[in-house]
Chain A
Amino acid sequence: MMPLLTTKGLSRNFGGLRAVDGVDFALMPGEIRAVIGPNGAGKTTFVSLVSGRIQPSSGMIVFDGADITNLPAYARVRLGIAYTFQITSVFANLTAYDNVALPVQRTLTDGRSRGAVHAGVMAALERTGLADRAHMPAGQLSYGHQRLLEVAMGLALKPRLLILDEPTQGLADSEIDNFIELVREIAKTATVLLIEHNMPVVMQLADRITVFNAGKILAEGTPEQVRANTQVQDAYLGTTP
């Protein structure tokens, strides 16, 4: 089977710092892949390169067989790469409904029918449990609900690859359980690339885990393999003398 996403020698320098350093990465369709690593390991920079928010210094990104290295971010979104932000960035002054309507109306091809937008918006809101808050301004939603709204916006893009950047950050334990269910549900129709610090979430969700350290891939494998990997333990806990 052909990978949905591959990167070859992907690098990004910020001044003298190699935030992402020659990363070769492959993601199979239908997978839930978690990306973990210590702070500053280059995880967010890596997914930002994939989504097109920042440009690589060198290397190549291939999505579904096509070279997308030079495509602007909005064009990648249209190909099916959706990115949900690490720092919640919903449109605070717009209602939850309007927030989701923006991605829905873009994916519609028939253009004009109001009913289609409404149906699409409500479907995405219902999947994330926000339907009864549709007409609240997004800025007045609780933090957990704003995170869910962020996911609803990602879902509404009907992505083939959904990138979730620390989605459970700041969520209560009860909300996290619902969230895990939601990601499983999403994974039935999309490939999920998940940056996450919460290890129980990672262990429950991920089919495979990629560990970043100092801009490079340190290890990759099933949750069990990664858990047993001594290099990974060193990276997280400090090197043994």
Chain B
Amino acid sequence: MKEASPAKAYVLHLGVIALLFALSFVLPEYHHGLLARIMVLAVFAMGYNMLFGYVGLLSLGHAMFFSAGLYGAGLAVIHLGWSVPAAFAAGLACGAVLALVIGVLALRTSGVAFMIVTMMFAQVFYLIILYFAAWTGGDQGLVVPQSARVLVLGDTSLGLTNPTVRYMSALVLFSIVLLVTLAVVRSRYGRVLVAIRENEERTKMLGYDTFSNRLAAVVVSGTICAASGAAYALLFGYVGSTFASVQYSILPLLWVLLGGAATTLGPLIGTLFMYYVVDVTSGYTSAYLLIVGIALILLVLFFPKGVLGTIRQRWLGWLP
């Protein structure tokens, strides 16, 4: 947050991106596919972190922004036959507009009321998806046909079902969002967001319109989550109402808390950790949730501010 040399932070972030790029060539097929999925969902977590970590607003309805992107992109391909870039843009637009409307309404509240209001809106969104089953596929969901999941760039056409293309597309999206997040939190706007989190009353008395600043944060957060949802629909080809359920509002909160709220790389760490704990333990026992629970308790005990949050607090104060 200081206006000091940002070099260290940028080197670290570019290093993480380079590492993920290199992993694409060495990982076995199964983990390759899993990591692509994790990167897309880490974008969801980063969007959530923007609002929860930096502005201090705990939303329990972010599944609606993810699924706005998911359905916005998916339905545009399935029903309207739009190309991949157009469908992705449609997903983003759906998320941004929804976030603006929800933001204007929900930001009239704060604290517990904000959690309840966002959760209720997300439930309404979920029920709307089920109600219009003729278009959305209801609780069955829809499969985006493979033939439509082709990205045409000039003369070359890239099939998004190809594992390498899929991995690289996920990496590009992840990298862009990671660097945008880093730039935002290091910017003056980021400083204002943190100030609002720390003491809203004081921030107002420094001449900041805290409502507008928060609303902008909701829209940025919602749009990032929608980008994740749109990418999910296009890369993995499935659009389903599960993604709009409460579970998918809780998951990003969990990922962010595990990795470290208000850290730029925390969402990736948290998502990665959760996925692999579930993946590894479910290979040994059907009672894997028990082990996941124990792992979470240990984390809370020894890393109360999440993995990166605690590392920053104890050792690396410069971590963004």
Q: Which of A23-31, A101-109, A188-196, A206-214 contacts its partner? A: A101-109
A135 to B318: give the CA distance in the assembly, Å: 12
Q: List A residues 77-116 near B (Cβ within 8 Å).
A: 77-78, 82-83, 85, 89-95, 97-98, 101-103, 105-107, 114
Check B206 against A106 for contact (C-beta < 8 Å).
yes
Q: Which of B25-33, B40-48, B101-109, B192-200 contacts its partner? A: B192-200
Check B3 against A89 for contact (C-beta < 8 Å).
no
- Of the four ranges (under 10, 10 to 19, 20 to 34, 35 or more), the interface on chain A belongs to 20 to 34
| Closest Cβ–Cβ distance, residue B204 to chain A (whole Å) | 5
Q: Which of B116-124, B147-155, B207-215, B237-245 contacts its partner? A: B207-215
* B interface: dominant SS: helix
A95 to B195: give the CA distance in the assembly, Å: 11
| Closest Cβ–Cβ distance, residue B301 to chain A (whole Å) | 23
The residue in chain A whose Cβ has the minimal distance to the Cβ of B213 is A74
Q: Give which listed residue, A53, A94, A105, A153, contacts B198 with CB less than 8 A.
A: A94
Check A91 against B208 for contact (C-beta < 8 Å).
no
Check B194 against A94 for contact (C-beta < 8 Å).
yes
Check A105 against B205 for contact (C-beta < 8 Å).
no
Chain A residues with CB below 8 A from B188, complex form: 101, 105, 117
Q: List 25 A-B residue pairs with CB atoms under 8 Å apart, sorted by A's residue number.
A: A53-B201, A73-B204, A73-B205, A74-B204, A74-B207, A78-B207, A83-B205, A91-B194, A91-B199, A91-B202, A93-B198, A94-B191, A94-B194, A94-B195, A94-B198, A97-B3, A98-B1, A101-B188, A101-B191, A102-B195, A102-B203, A107-B207, A117-B3, A117-B188, A157-B206
Residues of B that sit less than 8 Å from A by CB? 1-3, 188, 191-192, 194-195, 198-199, 201-210
Residues of A that sit less than 8 Å from B by CB? 51, 53, 72-75, 77-78, 82-83, 85, 89-95, 97-98, 101-103, 105-107, 114, 117-118, 135, 153, 157
